[in-house]
Each structure stands twice: as structure tokens, then as C-alpha cells.
Structure 1
Amino acid sequence: MTEMTTYQQPAAALDTQMQFAKAVTASGGSILPKAYQGNPGNALIAINLGSSMGLAPAESLYRIDVIQGTPTASAELVASNVRKAGHKLRVKVDEQAQSVTAEIIRADDPDYTYTVTRDMKWAKDMGLAGKDNYRKQPMTMLQWRAITAVARLAASEALYGVGYTSDEIREMPSPQQAQAVTADQFIPAQTQGQDELKAAIDETGEAPSEQQRKKMFAALRDIGLTERDDILEYVSNLTGRTVESSNDLTRAEVSTIIDSLEGDTPNA
């Protein structure tokens, strides 16, 4: 596995770092991104996050942005971090079909390929197709979305908690509207076939317990998986089959998912 090279920030006490952050955010502020102008706290967080990614302090303030209180990065930086970690990232663009597929082959699991596809049908389903960026540069937006989605799915440890672009954060519900991922959000409207599958799992005693389900959803949030599509892709890859609802999962599969999530969670 390729060793990641990181910028070595000189050892300094927190108060010294804060003094630097105060100095750069107070010096006119006009050349800094808006999130840092007059906000040394945001700057300090970005500098430390950037340091872990191998960025110098000034570069951190331009390559990491803060949107709605959340650090974000460009898709280019996300891709760079994935490759620095030694993983292979490939992007396939089909302009005729208006579709982009991003693939990651992990350095520690070269026999498996994580795949995420984003197309205009997906954008329409997500209510994004009518937005200005998607009308003017659809392939660029789909490429960014495919890259960040597959990176969160396959290499979350390489993102240092900064796995979303500023566009993605802006398109999410406001903090007042946002809710934690729950079983209800993960379960689509039931079809007859899904009802029968759930009944069969319940009858054989293979259904996961409520405690298991809650633990799984909490662990999903811990690694940044909050969108239903990303969650379904993640659990489908782990189980080796297409999962359309949490009701499809057996007790053993949920246990496997939890084990994998806890391994992916920072400081777990």
C-alpha cells in the first residue's frame, strides 16, 4: 500500500495556532473564502484537517470550505486523498447516455471493485436535474457526485471526515429540516414481494433485533452515510446481493454490516 505523505505542521500549542488563525482571518479577510473571514475557529479546524491531508495551512483555507457548519472539499481533493491512500480510482464517462461511473479498487482488497453510477435519471429522481449547475454542466456535476459517493462508500478512512462537496451540502436539508437516518427512511414503500420476504425472514427467526438495527443506522451515520442510495449501495456491496430495503437483511447480514462499519469508523 502506498504511504500517504503528509504536511508536517510544526509542533505548537493550541493558543499559538489560534493566534495564527486570528491573524489571517482578521487581516482584511477579502482574499479568504467567506466562511473564514472573521472566523478563526473555522480557520483553525480547516488548517488542522488540511494538515492531516498533507496540505499546508494556506492551501487548507482554499481547498477546504465550511458550508452550514460542515467542512467540505472539492471532488478533486477527495479523489486525490483516495489515490494518496493507495487505492485505485477510475472514472468512466458516457456523454451520450449522460452517465458517469466511478470505481474504486482498495489497496487492501484488490479483488473487489466498488462501483457507483450517477446519471441524469438519478439527478431527476433526486430533484437536482433542474438546478442551474446540472443544466449548464451536467457531466461535470455527475462526475463529482459519482467520485464522492464511491469514495464515501469504499474509502471513508481516506477522507478525514471531509467527504462531501459544497454543492452536496447546500443541496441537503437545512439543520432545522434535517433528521437522523432511521429505519423508516431506509425502507421504501412496501411491495407485496418485500412484505413476503420480510414475513419469511421473521418466521425463520433470522430477522435482526431492533437493537441491532439501531446500532447499524448509528454506525452508518458515523462514517458519513446519510443518503438512502449510498446506504443501499454500501450494504449491497457487503452482502454480495442487491438490497432494496432494510427489511431484506437477515440478522447475520446486519451483524456483518455492523462489524464492517465499526472497522471503518474513525477511532473505533
Structure 2
Amino acid sequence: MTDLTVHQPGAPAALNDKIRYAQALSGSNLLPKQYREQPANLLFALEYADALGVAPINAITSIHVIEGKPSASADLIASLVRRAGHRLRVSGDDTFAEATILRADDPDYPFTVRWDMAKARQAGLTGKGVWKAYPSAMLRSRAITEVARMAAPDALFGVIYTPEELGAEVDAAGDVVQSVSTPGRQVSAPVADRSGMARLRAAVHVEEPVAPVAPAAPVDVVDAEVMASPEQRNAVIVALAADGVPEDPASILAALSERVGREISHTRDLTADEAEQILLALGGEG
């Protein structure tokens, strides 16, 4: 029988395991760009997954760090609020969105936030491309996150903003297309040029160096172009909207799953061939 060693959360040995896991996983080209070859960033996401009580893959795909601040999709924030026992109600259309939270410990006092296009214009948001293309999704996202910050910060563990609120470019589903960055700052550098992992090892007294991950086999041009580009994903979402698909993330993902014949849980799951087939079927540009 194999002996199993149980570590308490936060113990050095458990953190060592997470460091090794993060370093191994960071070599995957299926990760969001902010985590590829960035084991320290992955470790940050794993720690947030523990704090939020969600699966690590949920944190990796739904939590984005913008200028050092963790952010999450409006759908993840809504699920955290509901999981904490609070009641969240959302309504609206292309002109407004209203979100109401009734706390589990004070159900008689409703917290309500309303966002409309006049409020968005006052905040200087309506000039953004995503706001022009998907007003209902953006209004819904703003209403949910603002009322969650107001009524249920205890459920969010510091993840109180969406990427769009922190200035990232997103698509209709709230997925990051391009993060903001400080001019002149190096956004991504080879692991060897950064000291994050060295500091982590020193902090937990890892005496032996972590075995390097073997380099991946060369990828040919066909494999490198398998996944749909951000431009293709946005074109597909625009084409779906023109075909009558509601602009909320759940409807978009359901429509994508139906058209490709498999479950699409994230717009980044869409391949380039699938995107082209959908665009051709809907009369958009392939």
C-alpha cells in the first residue's frame, strides 16, 4: 500500500508541491497568455483558488491579474455571491441592467444597483468598442459587480472587479482579449530572466532545485494555428448576435456548443476551423 502524507494548507511542504505543479503547468500552450511560462503567476492563481474554494482550473481561466490587482468575470462573482447564501436577481435589456442582492443574514433589506447607458456615458465607457457592440452584457456585468461590492464583499475575498473595470480589453463573454500595461514595462519575459521563482524557493527553504521541465517537442505550423484568434472569436460573437443570439455569456456559449457539436465552456475553446465554419454558415467573414 502506498503511504500518503497529508499536509495542512499553507504548510511549506504543500507550498513546495504547488511550486512544482505551477512550474510544470506553466509550459502548457493552452493557458491564458498571462500564465504561459509564468509559474509565479500560476501560483498566485492557485492560492486564490484555495481562498475562493474553487477548482484551480476555474481560477486559472476566470481570474485575471491586471496591474497587480486580481479580477474575475461577472459570472464568477455572481456565483460566489450565491454560493455564500445570498440571493442575487438580475434583469435588464440593451438599455439598462438592474441587480439586487438580498443577504442571507438580512433578507429584508435589498441592495440594488442600476446601470443604464446614461450612467455609462457619464463614466466615459460608451466609446469603447465592446460597449458599442455588446451594451447589454457590459451593463449586466457592471450592475452585478457593483452590487456585489456593496452588499457581499465577504463572499469575494478581494476579487471585486472585472477585467473590463480595470481597463482590460474584453469580448462579450468578459474574456480578456488584451490587458492594459504600463508603457515601457516588460509584460512577459523568459523565466530565466525573472527572479520570482527564486524568491519563492528561498521563502519556503527549498534546498534542492526543482527539476526543469523538458522542453516541448517542436510544434508545426498547423498545430500552432489550431485555436481561434481573438479577432476570430470576436467576429463569431458579432455574427451570432446578428443571427439573433442574446449577447449574454451563457447564451453565446450555448450557441457555440450547439453549432460545433461539443461543449464550449469558454470562448478560448473554439478552434480556428470551427470559427471559420460558423462564420461561413452565418454569412460572416471567415
Q: Which amino acid aligns with 2:51?
A: S
Tell me whether 1:99 sits opposite 2:100 in the alignment: no
Residue 167 of structure 1 aligns to a residue in which SS? coil
In the alignment, the residues of structure 2 paired with residue 173 and residue 22 of structure 1 have an alpha-carbon distance, to the nearest angstrom, of 25
Task: Kindly provide the CA deviation profile for residues 184-222 of structure 1, in whole angstroms up to 9, marking residues without a partner as x.
Answer: xxxxxxxxxxxxxxxxxxxxxxxxxxxxxxxxxxxxxxx
In the alignment, the residues of structure 1 paired with residue 61 and residue 45 of structure 2 have an alpha-carbon distance, to the nearest angstrom, of 9
Number of matched pairs: 165
Tell me whether 1:83 sits opposite 2:106 in the alignment: no
Paired position in structure 2 for 1:20: 21
In the alignment, the residues of structure 2 paired with residue 33 and residue 23 of structure 1 have an alpha-carbon distance, to the nearest angstrom, of 15
Q: Does the CA-based 8 Å contact 1:51-1:60 persist in structure 2?
A: no
Q: Does the CA-based 8 Å contact 2:66-2:180 persist in structure 1?
A: no
CA shift, 1:174, in A, is 7.2
Q: Does the CA-based 8 Å contact 1:102-1:146 persist in structure 2?
A: yes
Tell me whether 1:139 sits opposite 2:119 in the alignment: no
Residue 86 of structure 1 aligns to a residue in which SS? coil
Trace 1:154-165 onto structure 2 (pairs within 5 A).
Answer: 154-165=151-162
Residue 170 of structure 1 aligns to a residue in which SS? coil
Task: Kindly provide the CA deviation profile for residues 33-60 of structure 1, in whole angstroms up to 9, marking residues without a partner as x.
Answer: 1111121111111112112323222232
What is the TM-score of this pair, normalised by structure 2?
0.54
Q: Which amino acid aligns with 1:140?
A: A
In the alignment, the residues of structure 2 paired with residue 136 and residue 31 of structure 1 have an alpha-carbon distance, to the nearest angstrom, of 27
In the alignment, the residues of structure 1 paired with residue 31 and residue 68 of structure 2 have an alpha-carbon distance, to the nearest angstrom, of 17
In the alignment, the residues of structure 1 paired with residue 126 and residue 96 of structure 2 have an alpha-carbon distance, to the nearest angstrom, of 13
Residues 110-119 or 165-174, more deviating: 165-174
Q: Does the CA-based 8 Å contact 2:67-2:180 persist in structure 1?
A: no
Q: Quick one: structure 1 residues 31 and 106, their matched pair in 2 at CA, closer, same or farther if it must change by over 3 Å?
A: same
In the alignment, the residues of structure 1 paired with residue 182 and residue 33 of structure 2 have an alpha-carbon distance, to the nearest angstrom, of 20
In the alignment, the residues of structure 1 paired with residue 181 and residue 147 of structure 2 have an alpha-carbon distance, to the nearest angstrom, of 24
Task: Kindly provide the CA deviation profile for residues 235-262 of structure 1, in whole angstroms up to 9, marking residues without a partner as x.
Answer: xxxxxxxxxxxxxxxxxxxxxxxxxxxx
In the alignment, the residues of structure 2 paired with residue 142 and residue 94 of structure 1 have an alpha-carbon distance, to the nearest angstrom, of 9
Paired position in structure 1 for 2:224: none
Paired position in structure 2 for 1:166: 163
In the alignment, the residues of structure 2 paired with residue 160 and residue 15 of structure 1 have an alpha-carbon distance, to the nearest angstrom, of 24
Paired position in structure 2 for 1:63: 62
In the alignment, the residues of structure 2 paired with residue 142 and residue 87 of structure 1 have an alpha-carbon distance, to the nearest angstrom, of 21
Paired position in structure 1 for 2:277: none
In the alignment, the residues of structure 2 paired with residue 74 and residue 126 of structure 1 have an alpha-carbon distance, to the nearest angstrom, of 20
Residue 92 of structure 1 aligns to a residue in which SS? strand
In the alignment, the residues of structure 1 paired with residue 136 and residue 57 of structure 2 have an alpha-carbon distance, to the nearest angstrom, of 30
Q: Does the CA-based 8 Å contact 1:92-1:100 persist in structure 2?
A: yes
Paired position in structure 1 for 2:203: none
Greater helix share, 1 or 2? Answer: 1
What is the TM-score of this pair, normalised by structure 1?
0.57
Q: Does the CA-based 8 Å contact 1:88-1:105 persist in structure 2?
A: yes
- Among 123, 126, 142, the alignment partner of 1:126 is 123
Tell me whether 1:39 sits opposite 2:38 in the alignment: yes
Which ranges in structure 2 are unaligned for 5 or more consecutive residues?
Answer: 1-7, 169-178, 184-286
Q: Quick one: structure 1 residues 173 and 109, their matched pair in 2 at CA, closer, same or farther if it must change by over 3 Å?
A: farther
CA shift, 1:175, in A, is 7.1
Paired position in structure 2 for 1:224: none
